[in-house]
Amino acid sequence: MCSSDLARSRNDQVALDFRMWVREACHRTAEQLQALQRALVAQAEAHADTLMPGFTHLQPAQPVTFGHHLMAYVEMFGRDASRFTDAAARMNECPLGAAALAGSPFPIDRHATAKALGFARPTANSLDSVSSRDFALEALAAGAICATHLSRLAEEIVIWMTPQFGFIALSDAFTTGSSIMPQKKNPDAAELVRAKAGRMLAAFTQLAVVMKGLPLAYSKDMQEDKVPTFEAFDVLDLSLGAMTGMVADLTPNAARMAAAGGAGFSTATDLADWLVRTLDMPFRDAHHVTGAAVKRAEELACDLADLPLEEMKALDPRIGSGVYEVLTPAASVASRKSYGGAAPDQVRAQVARWKDLLK
């Protein structure tokens, strides 16, 4: 018998098999995330100029573009992919040869075994080798964060599809009708992705609770590590596939988005910024003048861009016609040229960067 075949226990063999499974699941999930990112980038590139409202508190805040909004998720999912990749690198140590808990008296070569099994190195402590499951916990934590991001995007798809928003449409491939209401087109796929985030969070919690009170080294409790992990990655696999399909499938309603982008006096901040830049007005005063302008526009039932110049001058006589150059949603978005901003050129720059990274 070869020396590398000695000193094996169920403890280190199970730890090995489970570690190899989780490592492969992390690599697979990172690849699925990149596929989702590519779908998002493609939509963002096509809609770098498509105006929409940006929200805080789900209230209209400042205009952005649909492309810029989608690129926010590209960044989130990029961090998710890196978490899985980092986790896989950390768990890339081979526990085989730790035996039951104390190592082996036989002259085995654990470095050769690790290399043969595709690991970077052997684990350095035999007790830790058979008793740790933090590699699975880390993978589940990355999965829980990823599922949370998927749930946020799913929620937005659900909201955007409501008639009240009407920002996007999905095909029948990702929606279902009602059993009694023929007009319904329910975003069931998005709703299921949103719901499955709970199972990912539960899987992490379940394994954390199993491990939290265990003394070193192996305990039979650890047999409960696999079911939540296997089920969690099944759920994540399904959710990522569904979301990638939905992103590629969705069709934005550009006119509806643009109309909403100018609602709620969304260029009020642009007016305040103009007062600061052009009139050298302290921002505190500019904020007050802008608030008064919004109030007057509400009284006249018009947008800021349609507020007559004499009304503007009544608030500050130094205001000239140049103010109207910043009061449209398109002008507002175009002005956001700082790195990572909402200006279409900035969106295209980020699209180009991610297309490079995702090759």
Catalytically annotated residue among 3, 171, 178, 219: 178
Burial 267-291 (b: 16+ CB within 10 A, else e): bbbbbbbbbbeebebeeeebbebbe
Does residue 250 sit in helix, strand or coil?
A: coil
The reply to whether 171 belongs to the active site is no
Rounded CA separation 254/200 (Å): 34
**How does 192-205 read in b/e, with b if 16+ C-beta sit within 10 Å?**
ebbebbebbbbbbe
Q: Measure the CA–CA gap between 49 and 70, rounded to whole angstroms.
A: 12
* DSSP-assigned beta bridge partners for residue 252: 168
- 287 classed as catalytic: no
Contacts with 215 (C-beta within 8 Å, 6 or more apart), sequence order = none
Q: Which of 47, 57, 151, 338 is catalytic?
A: 57
Any idea how long the chain is? Answer: 359
Read off φ and ψ for residue 43, nearest 5 degrees: -65, -40
User: What tokens does 247 get?
Assistant: 């992103």
Cα–Cα distance, 115 to 118 (Å, whole number): 5
Active site amino acids: 57, 178
